[in-house]
């Protein structure tokens, strides 16, 4: 909305710098009719001192003046306030100064003798922008203050609170961020490309794999009974926890977002979670087991087929693992498996699905990841494993076979390509990465 000029320029402060006294007094009176805050100076040096003291919104200055000219004064002003609005009054013989003035990004030029109507019009236009910027700054400060108060209140709430559009986290309280080991919302969003990835696809709990075509998580929640509105998360300490979930729709300026409140009910579900952990996690390494991986793989493959998402799968095998068992015994062999699993788990995203496939073989499903990126990730993991020395067994290495999931894939066809790539890696000397698209 356009602000009426007569309502805004009265409070805008103006510094007028002119060395000729008669001109300065005449235009000073004209400027007083435009604004209530007028300062005058007879040269650039005096103008600069007034600017330092009062920080006026607009500077109107002659270019050629004794002691310090307008150009030199403006150079100092720009160091103090790079965004100050400046208008030069110029005579025909001031052309030598204009190029330098242009480089200082002056906001306007008025030819002497200056028309008072033209001067008023110019001040009004500059005032319009200045007042709009000040109002925007005040509104922003007010919004920031309100957000700080809201954040402080919500940070004392024990429930996990999150505002989201079901893609990114828009706002979260301290309890939510601490649960995922994040210091701020940006760090959380960098870890999770999709907010729904935080919900584990466990039986009897809500997760994105239960969504119908075109349905969002809020609509899916509404079609479930209140007693079944529960989800599970993997917290920063690696433990699954159960939460009662409530979601409220927020509509502001035709933009929809959702407030999610998560209440910890882990103690009420401890036996259930313990049973599920035994059923879906490998007892030795603590990562998913093969049965759980199969279930999650089917869910991700459905997403690939439905939404054409990129996803890659890799199989990795510890090189010469039999040597560790034969040389140091099975207990050391188990420690090697645990060390490798820990190394990988500490160097992948929370959204990646990592499982022990059997024996010394592990599998990793990378969501939202094409094969070329997966190969780079695998090579980084290969180096991390190579650097993770066991106290007795020494250096560990692993070979990787990778492929990208296709819409036509089954778990058998995807693993057939992975196994072929893994065989190529071992045949080429081990401790390397091979990829088949």
As annotated, the active-site residues are 360
Burial class (CB in 10 A: 0-12, 13-18, 19+), 51: buried
Q: Residue 47 corresponds to which tokens in the numbers above?
A: 């103008």
**CA 230, 233, 235, 240: dihedral to nearest 10 degrees?**
80
Tokens of 171: 């706002």
As to burial, measured by CB atoms within 10 angstroms (0-12 exposed, 13-18 middle, 19+ buried), residue 377 is buried
Give the number of C-alpha atoms closer than 13 A to the C-alpha of residue 104, restricted to the C-beta side. Answer: 25
**CA–CA gap between residue 131 and residue 245 (Å, rounded):** 46
- Give the Cα separation of 126 and 106 in Å (integer): 12
3-class DSSP state of 256: strand
Residue 281 to residue 145: CA distance in whole angstroms: 46
The Cβ of residue 135 has, within 10 Å, a number of other Cβ atoms equal to 12
Instruction: Report residue 382: phi and psi, to 5°.
Output: -60, -45
Chain centre distance of CA 167: 12
Helix, strand or coil for residue 334?
helix
Q: List the structure tokens of 12.
A: 């805008």
How far apart (Å, rounded) are the C-alpha atoms in residues 426 and 193?
34
Coil/strand/helix, residue 19: coil
Instruction: Write the DSSP symbol of residue 427.
Output: H
């Amino acid at each position: 909305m356009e602000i009426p000029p007569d309502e805004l320029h009265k409070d805008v402060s103006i510094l007028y710098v002119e060395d000729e006294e008669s001109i300065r007094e005449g235009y000073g009176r004209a400027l007083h009719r435009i604004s209530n805050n007028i300062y005058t100076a007879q040269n650039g040096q005096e103008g600069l001192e007034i600017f330092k003291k009062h920080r006026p919104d607009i500077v109107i200055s002659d270019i050629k003046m004794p002691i310090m000219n307008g150009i030199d004064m403006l150079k100092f002003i720009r160091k103090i306030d790079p965004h100050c609005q400046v208008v030069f009054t110029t005579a025909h013989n001031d052309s030598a100064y204009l190029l330098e003035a242009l480089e200082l990004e002056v906001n306007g030029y008025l030819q002497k003798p200056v028309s008072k109507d033209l001067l008023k019009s110019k001040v009004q236009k500059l005032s319009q922008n200045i007042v709009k910027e000040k109002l925007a700054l005040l509104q922003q400060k007010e919004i920031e203050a309100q957000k700080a108060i809201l954040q402080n209140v919500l940070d004392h709430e024990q429930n996990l609170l999150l505002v989201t559009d079901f893609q990114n986290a828009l706002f979260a309280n301290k309890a939510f961020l601490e649960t995922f080991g994040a210091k701020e919302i940006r760090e959380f969003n960098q870890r999770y490309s999709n907010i729904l990835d935080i919900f584990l696809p466990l039986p009897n709990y809500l997760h994105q794999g239960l969504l119908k075509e075109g349905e969002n998580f809020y609509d899916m929640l509404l079609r479930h009974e209140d007693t079944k509105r529960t989800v599970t998360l993997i917290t920063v300490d690696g433990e699954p926890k159960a939460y009662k979930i409530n979601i409220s729709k927020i509509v502001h300026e035709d933009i929809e977002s959702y407030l999610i409140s998560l209440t910890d009910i882990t103690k009420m579900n401890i036996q259930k979670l313990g049973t599920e952990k035994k059923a879906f996690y490998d007892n030795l390494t603590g990562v998913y087991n093969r049965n759980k991986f199969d279930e999650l793989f089917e869910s991700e493959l459905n997403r690939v087929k439905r939404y054409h998402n990129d996803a890659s799968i890799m199989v990795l095998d510890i090189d010469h693992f039999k040597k560790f068992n034969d040389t140091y015994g099975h207990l050391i062999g188990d420690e090697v498996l645990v060390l490798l699993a820990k190394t990988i788990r500490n160097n992948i995203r929370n959204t990646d699905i990592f499982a022990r496939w059997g024996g010394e073989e592990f599998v990793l499903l990378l969501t939202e990841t094409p094969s070329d990126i997966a190969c780079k990730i695998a090579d980084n993991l290969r180096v991390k494993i190579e650097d993770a020395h066991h106290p007795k067994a020494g250096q560990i290495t692993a070979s990787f076979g990778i492929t990208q999931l296709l819409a036509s894939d089954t778990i058998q066809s995807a693993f057939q390509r992975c196994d072929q790539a893994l065989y190529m890696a071992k045949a080429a000397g081990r401790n390397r990465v091979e990829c088949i698209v």
